[in-house]
Amino acid sequence: MWIREETPEDVEAIHEVLGKAFADAPGEGRLECRIVDTLRADHALAVSLVADIDGRVAGYIAFSPARPSRDGDGWYVLGPLAVDPADQGHGVGSALVHAGLQILQEREANGCVVLGDPGYYGRFGFEAEPLLTLPGAPEGAFQALRFTDAASAGEVVLHPSFGHHEKD
């Protein structure tokens, strides 16, 4: 398995992986494809990696800027993360997460947030962070991993493609 930056030739395969990985989710992966396409079009993909196994895309991960309302520079959001169901359970997702977080640390990021399963993301050091919030996020699902001791706090603003900017 080779973890590498996405190329323009990977876009269709990334869509396929997102569709397969999120087939049982509302929208069957179309929402995740739209998020990634919008981030890409807006040049907001800070890190966009694929897991290449024998020349095929087996997994994908994206990181884009996120901004806590207080001292919010240098933060990113992880998502989406997708692994082809045929390749799940073989460390593909973990390899993508580790590689992406390493890149963020090399860029001297303050931290990363994620909206997802605490049991899964907790393995990488993510934890519920009461000082960082995302309106509408299910209890415990919005987590953070701090790389520095920056005093970042408050409501986290994501790219509009995630839909968290809309107020009811």
Please give the Cα distance from 58 to 132 (Å, whole number).
Answer: 32
Percent of the chain with pLDDT over 90: 88
Q: For the domain bounded by 2-158, which CATH number is listed?
A: 3.40.630.30
**Segments making up each domain of the chain, as ranges:** 2-158
pLDDT at 144: 97
Q: Residue 56: what residue type?
A: R
Place of tokens 């907001």: 44
Structure tokens at 168: 């009811």
Nearest to 23 by CA among 108, 90, 72, 83: 83
Query: Tens digits of per-residue pLDDT, 18-27?
Result: 999 999 988 8
Which parts of the chain sit beneath pLDDT 70?
164-168
Residues in Cβ contact with 10 at an 8 Å cutoff, skipping those fewer than 6 apart:
50, 57
- Can you give the pTM of this predicted structure? 0.93
- pLDDT tens sequence across 43-60: 999 999 999 999 999 999
Closest CA to 96 of 144, 61, 48, 123: 61
